[in-house]
Structure 1
Amino acid sequence: MDLEERVAELERRMAELETAGPAAPAVREGDFWALEALKDRHPVTQEADGAVLFTGAVRVPTGHRYEWQHGLLTETLFDNDWSEAAESFAALGHPVRLRLLREILGGLRTAAELTALPDVGTTGQIYHHLRQLTGAGWLHTPQRGRYEVPAGRVVPLLVVLTTTRPAS
């Protein structure tokens, strides 16, 4: 093979590598410990469809700690009406609402604190977003004018955010 052919071959191979993207990281023993435990409890077989589990143990910026685990059998998930989830997803589908949730988890709890934030809109717009989040269960009001993410929604919110990032 002459030099020109070798260069052409190298360019072709380089183009293949560039379009393939990064290689998946090697899976080591113990990397999927949670998955293995789930499969032990709910194996995927001819008779059973398996299950989905999400779990987390977190400390948010305020110092509060949350531990949560939730799972459902796959057959239950496929038997449910998925359109019922639309309101919850829609409530998260606005950048200002996501920012409000982050700020509330970070310690800003009152409507006055939230309306003082830059780039979140007018007081009326903020109240609209807070109503959407409250109606979908992402927020609750333990006291008038004070907002919190319910304890049972902290880890699910972080799971939803985690799913938007590529796996590494």
Structure 2
Amino acid sequence: MESDTKRIEGKLDRIVDLLESNAGARELVARSQEKFWALEGLRERIEDNAGNVMIVGAVGLPTGETYDWQQAESVTTALQLEWSDLSDVLGALGHPIRLLILQNIVSGTRSTPQLAAIPELGTTGQLHHHLRLLIAAGWLTSTGRGHYAIPAPRVVPLLAILLAANR
């Protein structure tokens, strides 16, 4: 009788394990269906058969600043842009020192003296050269004498570009 009880308990344990694993499988399926929740929301709003492209983000920076941003455009409009006109804006991101400057600024290092104290950024003259290029391209703005910030409409797109480059 005792061995029957243990055998039944063992079977019940296996059944519970199977049920739990099935629940886990169902949860995984549900999560995979939620994976593209933003994309599904975009598809519901698409007016153009060619589709849309969207940049969206809810960002909390180490500085305590928060940015909510979304930008969408039809593929047709994106393909009609003068891509070559954007080379200066994109090219400004194509230098490791400028990316390091942006990384430090987004993390809270915002004044010229603070930035100049970072050895990798080179001399003060080199630093100012890179700052001018970033300002001209719209990736930085001067918030006061010797203080810089990334404009709010550029924070999420910058992070999206970096994530895309990291694929």
TM interval, shorter chain, is: 0.7 to 0.9
- Give the unaligned 5+ runs of structure 1: 1-25
In structure 1, how many angstroms separate the alpha carbons of the residues matched to 2:39 and 2:47? 10
Q: Tell me the TM-score normalized by structure 1.
A: 0.78
Number of the residue aligned with 1:51: 52
1:111 is displaced (CA, Å) by 0.8
- Give the unaligned 5+ runs of structure 2: 1-28
Number of the residue aligned with 1:95: 96
Number of the residue aligned with 1:113: 114
In structure 1, how many angstroms separate the alpha carbons of the residues matched to 2:101 and 2:147? 13
* Amino acid aligned to 1:147: Y
In structure 1, how many angstroms separate the alpha carbons of the residues matched to 2:138 and 2:98? 13
1:142 is displaced (CA, Å) by 1.8
- 1:34-49 aligned within 5 A: 34-42=38-46, 48-49=49-50
1:43 is displaced (CA, Å) by 5.8
Over 3 Å counting, the alpha-carbon distance change for 1:66 and 1:43 in structure 2 is same
Number of the residue aligned with 1:29: 33
Dislocated runs of 4+, deviation >4 Å: none
In structure 2, how many angstroms separate the alpha carbons of the residues matched to 1:35 and 1:142? 36
**Larger radius of gyration between Structure 1 and Structure 2:** 2
The alignment yields a C-alpha RMSD, in angstroms, of 1.4
Please tell me whether residue 140 in structure 1 is matched to residue 144 in structure 2. Answer: no
* Amino acid aligned to 1:58: V
1:164 is displaced (CA, Å) by 1.1
* Amino acid aligned to 1:88: V
Structure ranking higher in helix proportion: 2
